[in-house]
């Protein structure tokens, strides 16, 4: 089964330094002597591993028992389930939030005592057309300036935005353009107490030509902006594809990260034995940094969706 993209589901459609950008560009090209291509394998074939999920999910009722790491779930992965039904199930599991909701969906969570952990601000940019192109800045700033106060009023801690596609742009120019755009919005975010999260995505499998495809690059941008309300959305699925070394990267850069997303690699499906990431260890590493935000599950289920979600929540309950 090929995973659908977030865009399709919703719209139908030591890192800084003088040599960092050069290193990122070299890695994008596949490295010295490499082709950058991977062999074609059955992405759902079980991986032989000594790892085991030692936290079995109960079939009903509360799943969260430890709760050092707050978990959420991305709405777009569960489009076949009515939002009210998803909210009821999420609450039953012991979660407190749902991720990636549009403004007209926020109020639907109120009867369940849930919040939106990461919101879309209308006009806040798209994956392809983001902050790297100055032509997009006026529209993105307008959208975020309108959306951030609404998010704050609704108790939403984060809004999402994107780098945009590279389209041949020099890395340094793209970085400078993103910083310029974010500098225009950071005061509104600081005044409202809402964090603007710039998402890093893979350009190898899902989002060809996306500019912000390395955690190093995202960290460089937010460091340059220098605001506690502009941070990285670290998508673990995407960064495993692009660079791996997840736990070290998280430990070294947690202060620049406001939010995490999950998804099994390869395929963006369940966090189970068919994929390669040790999610329990990653979740524990995030919790050990003192992280107070959310890790939202953003995988596309291939089995009963709520059972898969319960299993993921149990696995990451550290």
Is residue 25 very low, low, confident or very high in pLDDT (cuts 50, 70, 90)? low
**pLDDT tens digits for 55-99?**
688 888 999 999 999 999 999 999 999 999 999 999 999 999 999
The whole-model pTM stands at 0.86
| Maximum alpha-carbon separation in the chain | 57
**pLDDT tens digits for 163-204?**
999 999 999 999 999 999 999 999 999 999 999 999 999 999
Options 3.40.50.300, 3.90.1150.10, 2.40.30.40, 3.20.20.150; CATH of 68-315: 3.20.20.150
Give the C-alpha distances (Å, rounded to integers) separating 123 from 31, 140, 141: 36, 6, 8
Q: What is the distance between the alpha carbons of residues 147 and 159, in angstroms, rounded to a whole number? A: 8
**pLDDT tens digits for 282-294?**
999 999 999 999 9
The DSSP bridge pattern shows strands 257-262 and 294-297 to be parallel
Section 205-218 average pLDDT: 98
Q: What is the distance between the alpha carbons of residues 75 and 261, in angstroms, rounded to a whole number? A: 12
**pLDDT tens digits for 89-106?**
999 999 999 999 999 999
Section 31-48 average pLDDT: 40
Answer yes or no: are the C-beta atoms of 298 and 263 closer than 8 Å: yes
Within the chain, residue ranges assigned H as helices are: 6-11, 20-28, 83-93, 137-153, 171-192, 215-225, 236-242, 246-253, 279-288, 305-315
Section 243-269 average pLDDT: 98
């Amino acid at each position: 089964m090929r995973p659908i993209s977030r865009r399709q589901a919703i719209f139908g459609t030591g890192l800084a330094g003088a040599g960092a950008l050069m290193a990122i560009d070299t890695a994008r090209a596949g490295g010295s002597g490499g082709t950058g291509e991977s062999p074609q394998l059955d992405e759902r074939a079980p991986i032989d591993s000594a790892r085991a999920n030692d936290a079995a999910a109960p079939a009903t009722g509360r799943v969260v028992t430890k709760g050092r790491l707050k978990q959420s779930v991305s709405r777009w992965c569960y489009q076949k389930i009515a939002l009210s039904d998803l909210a009821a199930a999420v609450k039953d599991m012991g979660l407190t939030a749902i991720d990636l909701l549009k403004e007209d969906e926020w109020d639907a969570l109120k009867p369940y005592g849930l919040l939106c952990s990461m919101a879309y601000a209308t006009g806040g940019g798209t994956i392809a057309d983001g902050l790297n192109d100055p032509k997009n800045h006026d529209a993105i700033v307008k959208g975020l300036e309108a959306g951030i106060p609404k998010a704050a009023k609704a108790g939403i801690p984060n809004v999402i935005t994107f780098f945009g596609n590279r389209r041949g742009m020099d890395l340094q120019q793209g970085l400078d353009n993103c910083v310029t755009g974010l500098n225009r919005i950071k005061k509104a975010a600081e005044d409202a107490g809402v964090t603007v999260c710039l998402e890093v995505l893979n350009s190898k499998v899902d989002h060809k030509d996306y500019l912000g495809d390395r955690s190093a690059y995202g960290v460089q941008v937010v460091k340059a902006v220098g605001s506690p309300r502009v941070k990285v959305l670290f998508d673990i699925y995407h960064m495993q594809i692009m660079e791996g070394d997840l736990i070290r990267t998280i430990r070294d850069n947690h202060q620049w990260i406001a939010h995490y997303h999950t998804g099994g690699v390869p395929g963006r499906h369940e966090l189970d034995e068919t994929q390669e990431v040790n999610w329990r260890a990653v979740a524990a590493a995030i919790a050990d940094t003192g992280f107070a935000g959310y890790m939202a599950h953003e995988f596309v289920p291939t089995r009963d969706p709520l059972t898969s979600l319960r299993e993921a929540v149990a696995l990451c309950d550290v």
